[in-house]
Amino acid sequence: MTAGSGDEVAAELGGRIGELARRELRIALGETKRKMKEGGVATGLAAMAVVLALYGGGLMLRGAVLLLAKVLPEWLATLVVGMVVSLAAAGAGMLGLARMRSAVPPVPEQATAETAEALGAALEARNTGERR
């Protein structure tokens, strides 16, 4: 092989690598677009589910008020159902706050402890080796 033919091979190889990279980029871009579109549809469906669940919950609460209104005045039945819902919301909020406090800060405590232990063992081994 001559030096010129080596340069030609290198140029051809570079061209093929560039073509391959562009092709892979087009494939990745197409896949990303498809996934983004699917994610948008999924988000819309999830939002619709949340809205329908809120309406359903409201209708069930109204049903509870109407049921209680058979034995209590309607204003009192509404107040009782509202208080029960408020207490449930407060309980869920307190549980969420407690779980949030245990999750923050997001530091991997076990991994940190194991790393500190391994580092301590390594330093001790080094110090023991220096004393000999």
* 9-18, 44-53, 80-89, range with the lowest pLDDT: 9-18
What are the domain boundaries of the chain? 1-68, 75-132
Does 115 or 27 have the greater pLDDT score?
A: 27
3-class DSSP state of 122: helix
What is the pLDDT of the chain when averaged over all its residues?
86
What's the average model confidence in pLDDT over 126-131? 71
What's the average model confidence in pLDDT over 44-50? 94
pLDDT for 1 beyond 60: no
- What's the pLDDT at 2? 52
CA distances from 113 to 34, 39, 102, 104, 118 (A): 43, 39, 17, 17, 9
pLDDT tens-digit map of 55-80? 999 999 999 999 999 999 999 999 99
Please work out, in degrees rounded to the nearest 5, the angle formed at the alpha carbon of residue 22 by the alpha carbons of 18 and 27. 150
Proportion of the chain above pLDDT 90, given as a percent? 44
Nearest to 88 by CA among 49, 61, 51, 59: 61
Q: With contact defined as beta carbons under 8 Å apart, do 61 and 85 qualify?
A: yes
d(CA 7, CA 9): 5
